[in-house]
């Protein structure tokens, strides 16, 4: 194995030094966790449709009650012991990734109206000076998705790039396309 040194740049070999901080199973610290356990799987591809084998995804989400484990979320909703809502995984040789988590609850938007259940996603990979940020919504939440004010800002023809489709019971499939046809919608935050 080749290790990164201080004189190396980000590309063409991305090595952020986060070995050991792989957190693919957000439910591992919460055996009594309430809510629907789900698996989110997919691939990260570049503008040519080639897999990105050396990327990393981070996710952050609310618990099933719709509360984040964060000091700014002081709502009177239950917190879940051992559940941080944070996950991080590297992509595999085929660009694949997999998270095990629980389906998040709805959270209030800036206007106070509920947002559809969603997961915030940051993508880090070679060729990017700064990570890109997006959201993952659930295809079986059509009513909530239709009322979500953030999703409504995205042109209708591009919304599908943010929606994970059910792929069996408790499984969702969602791919990240970094550029080109079918590019995932990314947000400036």
Residue 9 has pLDDT above 50, yes or no: no
Q: CATH for 37-177?
A: 2.60.130.10
For residue range 97-140, what is the model confidence (pLDDT) as tens digits? 999 999 999 999 888 899 999 999 999 998 888 999 999 999 99
The Cα–Cα gap between 69 and 178 comes to 29
Q: Where are the domains of the chain?
A: 37-177
- Over residues 36-62, the mean pLDDT reads 95
């Amino acid at each position: 194995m080749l290790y990164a040194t201080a004189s190396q740049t980000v590309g063409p070999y991305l090595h952020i030094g986060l070995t050991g901080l792989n957190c693919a199973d957000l439910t591992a610290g919460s055996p009594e966790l309430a809510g629907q356990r789900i698996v989110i799987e997919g691939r990260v591809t570049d503008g040519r449709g080639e897999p990105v084998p050396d990327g990393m995804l981070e996710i952050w989400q609310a618990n099933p009650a719709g509360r984040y484990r964060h000091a700014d979320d002081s709502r009177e909703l239950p917190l879940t012991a051992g559940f941080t809502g944070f996950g991080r995984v590297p992509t595999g040789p085929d660009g694949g990734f997999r998270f095990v988590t629980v389906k998040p609850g709805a959270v209030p938007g800036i206007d106070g109206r509920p947002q559809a259940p969603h997961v915030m996603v940051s993508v880090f990979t070679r060729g990017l000076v700064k990570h890109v940020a997006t959201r993952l919504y659930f295809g079986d939440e059509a009513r909530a998705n239709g009322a979500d004010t953030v999703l409504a800002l995205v042109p209708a023809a591009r919304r599908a790039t943010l929606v994970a489709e059910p792929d069996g019971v408790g499984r969702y499939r969602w791919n990240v396309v970094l550029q080109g046809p079918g590019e995932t919608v990314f947000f400036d935050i």
